[in-house]
């Protein structure tokens, strides 16, 4: 079983790592424009993810439902899930894109933009959200492939998309080989171009004969949008959406409080969040494996096998987190020196990486445990856990530590630590009790 988990996980881990690593390089390239540019791009992160929250929720539902239908041997129903979800995603794209383009200025002001960061943040946000349809389509088809157990296709599309993003960054941020120097706007255009390529590749994957979710089967079996599948997706994704929104509101509150500490401190904080994203990438890969393996096992009514897969994924995740913690401990200053040269910002970086090395094991473990619970359909529990941990504990503790006690960046990251610790306790306790394997989906 360990070999099966590793076989399923490594493409997803590599994919998520490379995507996050590309994000770090993206920030590194933007840092050549100064700390204000890094802060401007950082301001868009949480509004962007709030805009994408509904898509993440639908994708989680698609992965879980496709995995369960595969375990049950119901391939047509798995493809019905994909077709129905595609209609949902296309409608959501029209709504989300329009709202984000129209409301970019007030959204970024609410997120904490200052005079020197507001205009570039708005420009970046509008370009990124204007390409939502490409991002959403790529995410949807990759989620269906992951649910069917094919994590390599998702890896290939996302790695290629990230390479395109990095290459276009080089051409468009500073202007090379005759291309215009567009600065922050160039970084946004490069990201959208990467998504266009990734979307094209993910669509092409559905035409492969070996694909479990495929265009040929959809056409042959005349698979259509169905109200029954629509209700299943909405039932599952509504709880995940509420959880995602709760988390993003909490993250946005943290970003807002961090932005009040000044441009340099906020720039250092954003690099720290990129490093957290790198750690999350490993957890996300293991999460993809956990959803596919546990979901398929539950579909085949092999409950103990589902539990063992979850435990195996978590042990692999702990090994990865130990390595990451060592990297943060010994290499924190060196990592930050790739972005900044100012001594006071480097000191911020050392402080932040010390927190990250403690947070990473908790983060990776709680994400993997939570993935298994969601694969089983235990989504109301994960919603409540996130509401308590992120919106209540993280937001209140961060506010008290920064605005009342004046602990600055240390207060920001103590708030992050409190959130991750509570989510770990919630998710690990629920997983170990084992009742999640009895749920129907």
How many Cβ atoms are within 10 Å of 269's Cβ, its own excluded? 26
Distance of CA 413 to the CA centre of its chain: 19
Distance of alpha carbon 255 from alpha carbon 388, whole angstroms: 18
Q: State both tokens at 330.
A: 């010994």
Q: For residue 208, what is the DSSP state?
A: S
Distance of alpha carbon 350 from alpha carbon 331, whole angstroms: 9
Kind and range of the H or E run holding 2: helix 2-31
Residue 73, Cβ density class (10 Å: 0-12 exposed, 13-18 middle, ≥19 buried)? exposed
Q: State both tokens at 137.
A: 């389509």
Q: State both tokens at 168.
A: 């276009």
**What distances in angstroms separate CA 201 from CA 26, 298, 319, one per listed residue?**
22, 30, 32
Kind and range of the H or E run holding 384: helix 379-386
- Count CA atoms closer than 13 A to 406's CA, side-chain side: 0
Q: State both tokens at 71.
A: 């375990």
Q: State both tokens at 413.
A: 């990251």
Question: Angle 56-391-399 (CA atoms, 0-180°, nearest 5)?
Answer: 130
Return the sign of the alpha-carbon dihedral for residues 250, 256, 260, 262. positive
Q: What tens-digit pLDDT sequence spans the chain (441 residues)?
A: 666 666 666 676 776 676 666 777 777 777 778 877 877 887 787 788 888 888 988 988 898 888 888 888 888 989 999 999 999 999 999 999 999 999 988 988 887 777 777 888 899 999 999 999 999 999 899 889 888 878 778 788 888 988 898 899 889 988 888 888 888 889 899 989 999 999 999 999 999 888 888 888 898 888 899 999 899 898 888 877 887 777 777 777 887 888 888 888 888 888 888 788 777 777 777 777 777 777 777 777 778 888 888 888 888 888 888 888 898 888 889 988 888 888 888 898 899 999 999 998 898 888 889 888 887 878 788 888 888 998 889 889 999 998 889 888 899 999 999 999 999 999 999 998 888 887 776
Distance of alpha carbon 161 from alpha carbon 18, whole angstroms: 10
Return the sign of the alpha-carbon dihedral for residues 211, 92, 61, 255. positive
Output 215-224 pairs: Cβ under 8 A, ≥24 positions apart: 217/75, 217/76, 217/79, 218/79, 218/82, 218/83, 221/76, 221/79, 223/76, 223/79, 223/80, 223/83, 224/80, 224/83
Q: State both tokens at 27.
A: 């920030």
Kind and range of the H or E run holding 169: helix 151-172
pLDDT in the model for residue 81 = 92
Q: Can you state the percent helix, strand and coil of the chain, rounding each to 5?
A: 85, 0, 15
Do 343 and 356 form a contact (C-beta atoms < 8 A)? no
How many Cβ atoms are within 10 Å of 233's Cβ, its own excluded? 20
Distance of alpha carbon 354 from alpha carbon 330, whole angstroms: 10
Do 16 and 96 form a contact (C-beta atoms < 8 A)? no
Return the sign of the alpha-carbon dihedral for residues 376, 276, 137, 197. negative
Q: What would the 3-class secondary structure string for 56-116 be?
A: HHHHHHHHHHHHHHHHHCCHHHHHHHHHHHHHHHHHHHHHHHHHHHHCHHHHHHHCCCCHH
Determine the angle formed by the axes of helices 263-299 and 227-259, rounding to 10 degrees: 160
How many Cβ atoms are within 10 Å of 114's Cβ, its own excluded? 17
Question: Angle 437-370-256 (CA atoms, 0-180°, nearest 5)?
Answer: 155
Do 274 and 103 form a contact (C-beta atoms < 8 A)? no
Question: Angle 433-281-153 (CA atoms, 0-180°, nearest 5)?
Answer: 100
Q: State both tokens at 170.
A: 């080089």
Q: For residue 378, what is the DSSP state?
A: -
**What distances in angstroms separate CA 393 from CA 144, 164, 290, 314, one per listed residue?**
34, 39, 27, 25
């Amino acid at each position: 079983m360990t070999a099966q988990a590793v076989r399923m996980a490594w493409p997803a881990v590599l994919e998520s790592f490379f995507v996050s690593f590309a994000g770090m390089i993206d920030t590194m390239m933007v840092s050549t424009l100064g700390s204000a540019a890094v802060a401007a791009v950082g301001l868009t992160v949480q509004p962007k993810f709030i805009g994408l929250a509904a898509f993440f929720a639908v994708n989680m539902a698609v992965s879980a439902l496709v995995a369960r239908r595969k375990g049950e041997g119901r391939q047509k129903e798995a493809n019905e899930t994909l077709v129905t979800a595609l209609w949902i995603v296309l409608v959501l794209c029209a709504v989300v894109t329009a709202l984000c383009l129209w409301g970019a200025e007030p959204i970024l002001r609410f997120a904490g933009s200052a005079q020197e960061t507001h205009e570039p943040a708005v420009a970046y946000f509008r370009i990124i959200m204007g390409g939502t349809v490409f991002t959403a389509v790529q995410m949807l088809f990759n989620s269906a492939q992951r649910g069917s157990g094919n994590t390599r296709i998702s890896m290939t599309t996302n790695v290629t998309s990230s390479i395109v993003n990095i290459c276009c960054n080089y051409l468009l941020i500073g202007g090379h080989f005759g291309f215009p120097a567009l600065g922050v706007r160039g970084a946004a255009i490069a990201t959208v171009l990467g998504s266009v390529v990734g979307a094209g590749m993910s669509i092409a994957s559905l035409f492969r004969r070996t694909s479990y979710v495929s265009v040929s089967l959809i056409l042959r079996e005349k698979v259509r949008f169905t109200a029954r599948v629509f209700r299943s997706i909405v039932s599952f994704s509504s709880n995940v959406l509420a959880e995602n929104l709760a988390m993003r509101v909490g993250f946005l509150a943290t970003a807002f409080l961090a932005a009040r500490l000044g441009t340099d401190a906020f720039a250092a904080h954003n690099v720290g969040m990129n490093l957290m994203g790198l750690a999350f990438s490993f957890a996300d890969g293991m999460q993809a494996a956990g959803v596919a393996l546990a979901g398929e096992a539950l579909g085949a009514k092999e409950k103990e096998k589902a539990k063992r897969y979850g435990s195996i994924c978590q042990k692999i995740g702990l090994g990865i987190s130990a390595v990451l913690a060592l990297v943060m401990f010994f290499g924190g200053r060196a990592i930050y020196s790739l972005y900044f040269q100012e001594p006071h910002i480097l000191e911020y970086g050392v402080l932040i990486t010390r927190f990250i090395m403690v947070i990473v094991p908790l983060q990776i473990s709680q994400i993997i445990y939570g993935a298994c619970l969601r694969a089983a359909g235990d989504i109301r529990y994960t919603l409540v856990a996130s509401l308590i941990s992120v919106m209540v504990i993280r937001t209140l503790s961060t506010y008290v530590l920064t605005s009342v006690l004046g602990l600055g960046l240390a207060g920001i990251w103590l708030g992050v630590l409190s959130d991750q610790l509570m989510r770990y306790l919630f998710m690990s306790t629920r997983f170990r009790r084992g009742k999640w394997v009895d749920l129907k989906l």
